[in-house]
Structure 1
Amino acid sequence: TTTITTSTVLFNSQVFIYKFIKMAADGCPVLHVEILQKMNSTMVEKKLIEEVGSFLQEKKNINVDSIIKDFPMSLLNDHIVHIRICELDSACNMKHVDISMTQPQYHIYQLESYGPSIEELNEGEEDIAAASYWMLPATEFEDLWENLIYDSPIKEQLLKFVRTTLLFSDRGLNKNIISWNKVILLHGPPGTGKTSLCKALAQKLSIRLDSRYKYAQFVEINSHSLFSKWFSESGKLVQKMFGKITELADDHALLVIVLIDEVESLTRARESSSKGSDPSDAVRVVNAVLTQLDQINK
C-alpha cells in the first residue's frame, strides 16, 4: 500500500533524485501509454500490448498528451476504447515523439462502474456515514486528471514524488539518513480543485502501478464524521475508522489511497480547545487522527 507527505524541500529533492536515477538507468526516455480495455474483451495482456505496439510503430511520430480512438485494425476496435499517449519520463518537453526512440511503458486497465460504497460506524443508537470507498480505476474519475489544469507542474511532481517514495521503500532506505513521509497536504482557497486532484491522483496511480498492485481502493473520509455528539466517543470513532483502513493495508496486493477531506476542521477544533471554548473531546479526536497517521506512515 502507499500513502504520501508534506515538506516542500523534501518533495523537491525526491523529484530530483527520481530524475537522476531514471536518466542514469537508461538513455531513452520512458513514454507512458495507457490502454483502456473494453469490459467484454478477453484478449490477454501480452497479446494486447503486441497489437498496440505494432499499431503505434506504424504511426512513428506520435503527439504527446493525445488520445487515439480510431483504429484501422478491427482487432483493436473490438478490444480497446482508446489509447492515451501520456508524458515522457524526462526533462524534455517534446510535443511529438518517434516511438522507436522511446521506451514505451504500457498500462492496461478496465473501469469499475459499481460506484462508491459507504462505510458506516455505529454511534449509540444510529449509524453515521464515516467514509466512501471506490474500487479503482473508477468510471467517475476517468478523464479527471487530464482536465485539471494548473499554473505549476504539480501533477507531474506528485507522480514523481510517489514513485520516489516507492523506490526508497524498495531499497530499504534508512529513514534516519533520509527522512520522508507518506502523507501529502494539499492546501489552497476553496474551489481550487484540491479534492478533485486527490481523486485524479488516486485514479492515475491505480493505472500506473498496475504491475505492482493487483487492486486499488480509494477511501474518502469526511473530517466532520469523526466528531461524535457523545462526549469521549470521537476518539473511538477515529480508531474504528483507521482500524478498517489498516486491515485493507495488510493486503500487499492492494494499493490504498486515503483522502481526509476538510482536514482544516480538525485544526480549528484543536485551536478552539486550546482556548477553552471546546471540550477536551475535540482534542482527543485530533490527537487520535495524528496518532493513526503516524502509524500508517510507518
Structure 2
Amino acid sequence: MLFADRNVDDNLISCNKVILLHGPPGTGKTSLSKALAQKLSIRLQSRFIKGILIEINSHSLFSKWFSESGKLVSKMFSQIRDFVEDQKFLVCILIDEVESLAHAREKCMSGNEPSDSIRVVNALLTELDKIKIHSNVLIFATSNVTGAIDLAFIDRADIKEYIGLPGVQAIYQIYYSCIQELLKAEIIQPKVIIQQCPDLVELESSDIYKNDKKLLKISEASVGLSGRSVRKLPFIAHALFLQTEIATLENYLEALLFAVEYQKTNSKYF
C-alpha cells in the first residue's frame, strides 16, 4: 500500500499482493488467514470504511462443459473487481486449497488431467496480474500439497510462509483453553487453578504445580499431532476414557493422556 501511495513503478519493483501459507493439514492456515484479514481491517480502519473477506470455493468453479471453467474464474474475478474498484473498501481474498485452482500444468499435460484444468490455471494467473494494480486488495492462498501447485503461481506469491505443527508451548495453550471451557461447563469439578503460561524451569523444580506438570507431559507426548487433532482430544478423552459425566481434573488428565496414545496409534494406519 505504501509503494502504491508513493507511485512506485510495479514494472520495476513487482508486488503481486499474494501470500501463500503452506504446511501440513490442521495447522490453522485458513484460520490464520481469516484472523489476519480481521486484524488488517481493524488496523486500517482510518483508511478504509469497511473490510471485506471473499472466500473462493475452488470446487464450484469447475464445469462439466468444455472451456467453461476458465470463463467461470474470469467471471468471478470480474465480480471481485466491482468491490476492489471502490478504494474505500479493503478487500481480502482467500483461496483455500489453492492447488485445486492452480494445479501444476506440467502434470496436467503429462497425465490424464483434462486440458480444461490448464485453462483454469491460465485464467487465474491472468486475473492475478490484472488485480494487483489495486492498492486495497490482498490475496491469501493456503495449500497442504505444495508439489501440486503451478510454479508460475508460486513465483507470483510475494510471501511464502511455512505453517508447521504446534510445539509443546502451543499445545499446552490449546489444552489450557479446552480445560478452562470444561471447567466453565462444570464437566470438570471442582474448580481448580492451572497456569496458562507456565515457567517450565519452575515447574520442573517445584512440587506445587502437580496438575500443571501432568499437562506439560501430555503436551510433550502430543508433539507431532496437528492443532486440529489436539483440539479434538479433549472430547475423545471424555467420550472414550471416562465412565462418568463429571470428572476431577486428575482423572480427566489421565484420560487425556490415554486419548493422546489412542490418537497416535490410530494415525499409523492413515
TM range (shorter): 0.3 to 0.5
Give the structure with the larger strand fraction. 1
The TM-score with structure 1 as length reference comes to 0.43
Q: Which has the larger radius of gyration?
A: 2
Give the structure with the larger helix fraction. 2
The TM-score with structure 2 as length reference comes to 0.47
